[in-house]
Amino acid sequence: KQEVTQIPAALSVPEGENLVLNCSFTDSAIYNLQWFRQDPGKGLTSLLLIQSSQREQTSGRLNASLDKSSGRSTLYIAASQPGDSATYLCAVRADTGFQKLVFGTGTRLLVSP
């Protein structure tokens, strides 16, 4: 059974800092990995999707990497802003069966001005 863990559970940083969020998964047979952002009282917004054959994806100040063999992904946020404050979740899609999307428990990020 796939298990997805995110560290740290919470993170508080001053504006302008570069930061790294970590995601690890137990079964390396994945189809892809997605990073989502969730604002309070809202649904999830997809940030980046990395296919299992890819090593990284970039969008603006966000960069996500994937090391499938070691079961790890990182989300790098450059020059953090107060508007980046949210909960960040990673999710892995299974390579077999019905391709379930299994979520981590998230990292709650607070960027203070």
Structure tokens at 56: 């990284």
Question: Which is nearer to other proteins, 76 or 103 (by Cβ)?
Answer: 103
Shortest Å, Cβ 30 to other proteins: 11
Shortest Å, Cβ 20 to other proteins: 21
Interface mask toward other proteins for 8-47; x: CB under 8 A:
-----------------------xx-x-x----xxxxxx-
Distances (CA, A) of 76 to 41, 62, 65, 86, 102: 24, 6, 8, 14, 21
- In the block, residue with structure tokens 């047979």: 29
Euclidean distance between CA atoms 36 and 45, whole angstroms: 5
Q: Which residues bind other proteins (CB under 8 A)?
A: 31-32, 34, 36, 41-46, 49, 51, 89, 91, 93, 97-106
